[in-house]
Each structure stands twice: as structure tokens, then as C-alpha cells.
Amino acid sequence: MRIAVVDDNAADRAWLAEQMEALLSRRRMEGSVVSFSGGERFLAQARRERFDLAFLDIYMEGTDGLKAARLLREFDRECLLVFSTSSPDHALEGYRVRASQYLVKPYRAAELEEIFDHLGRLLPAQEKYIELRAGRQAVRVRLRDILWAEHFRHRICIHLDGGGEVASRMTFGAFAALLSGEDRFFICGRGILVNLDHAADFDGRAFRLEGGGSVPVTRDLSGAARTAFGDRLFQMERGPCT
């Protein structure tokens, strides 16, 4: 995801860019935030490489936010636009350039979260990932690549789609916390976790993986595993997850 922040006020520009970078990091979403001090520079860059989302300050010297939006729409109809302004009196102009939201200055970080939630269904699907320490290196692992994971001798061993593995020294609880909120993962027992998106079947005792192999489930979790597997199949029919 590419996000543009366009504002001729250096402090406002820096704050908004910092907030967007932090938001992407918290949601484990890949993306970049590029800042511009004026509409002309933003448009020049947007012609070379498109943006998915742009925050445009309405009141700027030279090419203001509204003019920049009108010029952008001549060659990019898909970029989502959010206007930041000290006055909410430009709704009609915003409608004409298909603006998605308004931010009235001064605004709070919580408002950015709300806007991002609202725009989430309109933005392109993003690859989600976690970052781990594997020895002395920081390793980024895409969630979709995780087949299953097990905790053994104070390490998490992550088995990846395609046959690779990543080992990181950490507790199972800390690892599971990195995946919180992700319905695709199910804890099968003490120190074992599986990615339901790679499960082909569940026989009451273990998940059979699409590429071969199986992941055991403790007896007391068998009912919950069957329910989670069914729920995930239903979700996947409605659309893939990244």
C-alpha cells in the first residue's frame, strides 16, 4: 500500500505521516508513506507511480488540495482521497472528486483509526506478517505462509508453506499474541498451533494439511477444532485472506 501525505505545514505533515506509519505497523500491514509539501510534487510522483490513499490539505499555497484532487482524477480514478482542512465547508467540491473522508483540524489519532477502518474494505488486500528474531537476524514471516508451529525447548519452530522453517527463541504465549485476532489460527494443544487456511480436513484427532502431513489436536479441544474448521471454511468461501 502506498500512502501520500500532502500538506504545506511541516509539523502537520510530519505528525500525520508518523501516525500512518505507526498504524500500518500496529496492523502488521506492508506499506509506505510518502510526504509532499505541495500538490505539484505529489501529482508529479503520482503520475510515475500510483498511490492507494492520499491525505490532501485543502488550504495550501500553489496547487491546493482541491485542485490537486481534480488534476489527479484526470489520470487516476481509484486513489482514495481524504481531505484535511480547518473548515468543513467544502463537501460539495469533495463530492465532485470522489473524496472518501474529511479530517477537520485539529484531529486526533483515534480519528485516523476510524477512517482507516472505514476505508479498509475499499483498499487493496494487504499482506499481513509478523517479525521475529531468528538468531541475530530479524525475519519477516507472512501469515499466509505459516502452515503450523510448535514450541520445543524454549523455541518456536514455524513450518512454512513450501517446506522451509523459521525458529525463534520465545515463549508460546508471546508467539500466539503476535497472531491475536487472526481467525485462521487455532491452538491445537499445549505449544501447537495450526493455520486453518492450509487444513484440508479434520478427522476428530488431527488436522490433515493440504500439502501432506497432519497436526494433532488434544482430545479436549476436538469439538472446538471442528467448529473452528467449519467457520473458517465458511469465511474462505466469502473471500481469501492475506
65-72 helix and 39-48 helix, angle to the nearest 10 degrees: 20
Do 83 and 149 fall into the same domain? no
Of 97, 119, 141, the last residue of a domain is 119
Tell me which H or E stretch contains 158. strand 155-160
Residue-wise pLDDT for 139-149, tens only, equals: 888 898 999 99
Domain identity same for 54 and 93: yes
Residues 64 and 99 placed together within one structural domain of the fold = yes
Tell whether 125 is covered by a domain: no
The answer to whether 146 and 130 have CB atoms below 8 angstroms apart is no
- Report the CATH number that the domain containing residue 171 is assigned in CATH: 2.40.50.1020
**Contact assessment for residue 192 and residue 216, using Cβ atoms and an 8 Å cutoff:** yes
Q: Are residues 52 and 141 in the same domain?
A: no
Same domain, 76 and 149: no
The rounded mean pLDDT for the chain is 86
Long-range contact set of residues 83-91: C-beta below 8 Å, sequence gap at least 24 = 83/55, 83/56, 83/57, 83/58, 84/7, 84/12, 84/16, 84/55, 84/56, 84/57, 84/58, 85/57, 85/58, 85/59, 86/59, 87/58, 90/58, 90/66
The DSSP H or E segment spanning 186 is strand 185-189
The pLDDT assigned to 191 comes to 95
Query: Could you report the per-residue pLDDT of 16-74, keeping only the tens digit for each?
Result: 999 999 988 887 777 899 999 999 999 999 999 989 999 999 888 888 888 999 999 88
Which of 106, 104, 50, 107 has the alpha carbon at shortest distance from 80?
A: 50
Q: Which of 120, 118, 132, 58 is nearest to 89 (CA)?
A: 58
* Among 62-66, 93-97, 146-150, 152-156, the least confident range: 93-97
Q: Is residue 109 part of a domain?
A: yes
Are residues 147 and 218 located together in one domain of the fold? yes
Q: In what order do the strands lie in the sheet with 2-6?
A: 32-36, 2-6, 53-57, 80-85, 99-104
Is 53 among the domain residues? Answer: yes
Say whether both 139 and 106 belong to one domain. Answer: no
Is the model's pLDDT at 212 over the cut of 70?
Answer: yes
| Residue that finishes a domain, picked among 76, 99, 119 | 119
The closest alpha carbon to 19, from 123, 98, 106, 134, belongs to: 106
Average pLDDT over residues 62-91: 83
Cis peptide before 106 (omega within 30 of 0): yes
Count the domains in the chain: 2
Asked if 186 contacts 231 with a C-beta cutoff of 8 angstroms, the reply is no
Question: Within this chain, do residues 174 and 92 fall inside the same structural domain, yes or no?
Answer: no
What number is the average pLDDT over the span 85-99? 55
pLDDT band, very low/low/confident/very high, at 91 (cuts 50, 70, 90): very low
Last residue of a domain, one of 65, 85, 119: 119
227 pLDDT band (50/70/90 cuts)? very high
Query: Do residues 221 and 139 share a domain?
Result: yes
What's the domain range around 173?
A: 131-238
Shared domain check, 113 and 70: yes
Task: Decide if pLDDT at 75 tops 60.
Answer: yes
* CATH number reported for the structural domain that contains residue 113 in this entry: 3.40.50.2300
Lowest mean pLDDT among 134-138, 150-154, 216-220: 134-138
Within a domain: 126: no
| pLDDT interval class at 125 (50, 70, 90) | low
Residues 6+ apart with CB under 8 A from 84: 7, 12, 16, 55, 56, 57, 58, 65, 102, 103, 104, 105, 107
Pair (215, 182) in one structural domain? yes
What is the pairing mode between strands 206-209 and 199-202? Answer: antiparallel
pTM for this predicted structure:
0.56
| pLDDT exceeds cutoff 80 at 2 | yes
Higher pLDDT, 105 or 40: 40
Same domain, 155 and 222: yes
